[in-house]
């Protein structure tokens, strides 16, 4: 909470105290009922001058003078604080933040991305290509402004704190990507996220090889080392350039040329459960080709046989051109 907001809460508290003091004073000095005492307090501190419920005694007049002077001071302070709040734009920011947080609360199965650096931006771009719901956690104000200009749901705060992840909807999130520059911060995020939602799939960035095992132990499902991947990739472009360029077309260029898609067998129509890939006949229906299967043991079968059974809990890896992938998404 910033200084301006704390002053506003303090002002509201002082106004409440003035009301309470006035009601208590009139009830004690004049034997008014609660309603009459509240009425007298309101018309006194607002100086509307509707008149007393009954003539005042000298003690009541002194109390009224004290109440007016005190309330003028408090309300003058209140007006200055609220004016400053409006001029600074904080009021509109509060409304905007509440609207965003309301949208986030309604999300289920979304992905939280911690950090809007190079890796975070690329992750968000790819997730948007797949129409995935994304919430970004970032503490840098300039980055937040950029996210807001792109209409990306975001939370400004420290991703290592429980409160920030809860505001981002960690309880209902399906995935979390932590791409912070510090391995220590990523470790804190992994530990916190795993504690708050142990069903959430957590993917972490790491700079040092020594951090890999720590992040895995903390609860990360996958640990990605961008520098290591980049070095391997460049070496592979020397050793097997055509293969790597082909894979890049599938994974980096994406929808511009061809794409890989994952289909959960559970999402297929019930008539195909326990049937074979041949029975599914994706090639005829969409033009796509099944190039892999992930079985219940989480092992991958490359180029599966047509007789491979479609068992619940497994997934199909499908290759197709953009228009074929569109057909596939329309079917399933």
Dump pLDDT digits (tens) for 183-202: 999 999 999 999 999 999 99
> Which residue(s) pair with 300 in the sheet?
294
What's the whole-number mean pLDDT along residues 15-25?
Answer: 88
Q: Which domains does the chain have, with CATH numbers?
A: 3-88 (1.10.287.70), 107-230 (3.40.50.720), 256-331 (3.30.70.1450)
Residue keyed to tokens 């599914």: 280
The secondary structure of 216-253 as a DSSP string is HHHT-SEEE-HHHHHHHHHHHHHHSHHHHHHHHIIIII
Residue keyed to tokens 């067998």: 265
d(CA 310, CA 313): 9
Q: Is the pLDDT score of 267 beyond 60?
A: yes
d(CA 181, CA 207): 8
71 in Cβ contact with 49 (< 8 Å): no
How far apart, in Å, are the Cα atoms of 314 and each of 50, 98, 310? 78, 40, 7
Q: How confident is the model at residue 182 (pLDDT cuts 50, 70, 90)?
A: very high
Dump pLDDT digits (tens) for 197-222: 999 999 999 999 899 999 999 999 99
Dump pLDDT digits (tens) for 272-309: 999 999 999 888 889 999 999 999 888 899 999 999 99
pLDDT of res. 92? 59
Rounded to the nearest 5 percent, the helix, strand and coil shares of the chain are 60, 15, 30
d(CA 154, CA 100): 8
Which of 31, 158, 169 shows the shortest CA–CA distance to 100?
A: 169
């Amino acid at each position: 909470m910033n200084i301006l907001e704390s002053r506003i809460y303090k002002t509201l508290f002082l106004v409440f105290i003035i009301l309470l003091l006035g009601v208590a004073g009139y009830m004690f000095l004049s034997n008014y009922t609660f309603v009459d005492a509240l009425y007298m307090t309101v018309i006194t501190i607002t100086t509307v001058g509707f008149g007393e419920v009954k003539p005042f005694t000298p003690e009541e007049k002194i109390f009224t003078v004290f109440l007016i002077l005190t309330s003028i001071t408090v309300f003058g302070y209140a007006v200055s604080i609220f004016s400053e709040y409006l001029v600074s734009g904080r009021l509109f920011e509060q409304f905007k933040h509440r609207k965003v947080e309301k949208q986030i609360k309604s999300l289920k199965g979304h992905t939280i991305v911690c950090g809007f650096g190079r890796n975070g931006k690329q992750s968000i771009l790819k997730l948007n290509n797949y129409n995935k719901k994304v919430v970004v956690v970032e503490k840098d104000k300039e980055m937040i402004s950029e996210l807001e200009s792109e209409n990306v749901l975001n939370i400004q705060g420290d991703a290592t704190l429980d409160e920030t992840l809860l505001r981002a909807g960690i309880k209902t999130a399906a995935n979390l990507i932590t791409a912070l520059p510090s391995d220590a911060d990523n470790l804190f995020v992994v530990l916190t996220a795993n504690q708050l939602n142990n069903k959430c799939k957590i993917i972490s960035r790491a700079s040092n090889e020594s951090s890999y095992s720590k992040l895995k132990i903390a609860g990360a499902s996958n640990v990605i080392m961008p520098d290591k991947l980049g070095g391997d990739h460049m070496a592979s472009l020397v050793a097997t350039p055509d293969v790597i360029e082909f894979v890049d077309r599938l994974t980096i260029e994406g929808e511009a040329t061809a794409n890989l898609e994952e289909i959960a067998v559970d999402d297929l129509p019930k008539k195909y459960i326990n049937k074979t890939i041949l029975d599914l006949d994706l090639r005829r229906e969409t033009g796509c080709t099944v190039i892999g299967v992930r079985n219940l043991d989480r092992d991958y079968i490359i180029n599966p046989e047509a007789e491979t059974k479609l068992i619940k809990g497994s997934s199909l890896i499908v290759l197709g051109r953009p228009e074929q992938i569109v057909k596939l998404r329309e079917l399933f």
